[in-house]
Amino acid sequence: MIVIDVRDMTPEPWRLGVETRMLVSASNGAAQLCVFEQWIAPGAGAPTHSHPVEEVLTVREGEAEMWMGEQRLIVYSGQSLIVPLGCMHGFRNSGTVTLHIHAVLAAPFFEANVEGETETVRRWNVR
């Protein structure tokens, strides 16, 4: 049995205006899930990217402009977006307060291919 306590975790800067707290991943014993939360400053967000697995993004507080392919929409607190594997997507804080997002990936680590980049981003895959 593995107990994860967020009181032992400090959010880490990920990119400008984005702090991330990894909750569950291969780095703390997960075999099939990666669960993390982010706090995003107004105007900041995630660039267009894809994952080799399905992802669910849930807005906990604030609002986010999210996109998949050519589609764009505003996702509000309490709403979730399901992103199919391999689908190019991204988001930005479209509001005036800090955006809090909860994310779940169907893999034990974070892996993403950012549009225009040649290297795959991998995080939280080992202890």
pLDDT bucket at 62, cuts 50 / 70 / 90: very high
Architecture of domain 28-123: Sandwich (2.60)
Per-chain mean pLDDT for the chain: 93
Instruction: Tell me what pLDDT residue 27 has.
Output: 87
CB 73 within 8 A of CB 66: yes
- In this predicted model, what pLDDT tens digit does every residue of 6-57 receive, in sequence order? 888 889 998 999 999 999 999 888 999 999 999 999 999 999 999 999 999 9
- More confident of the two residues 127 and 125: 125
pLDDT bucket at 126, cuts 50 / 70 / 90: low
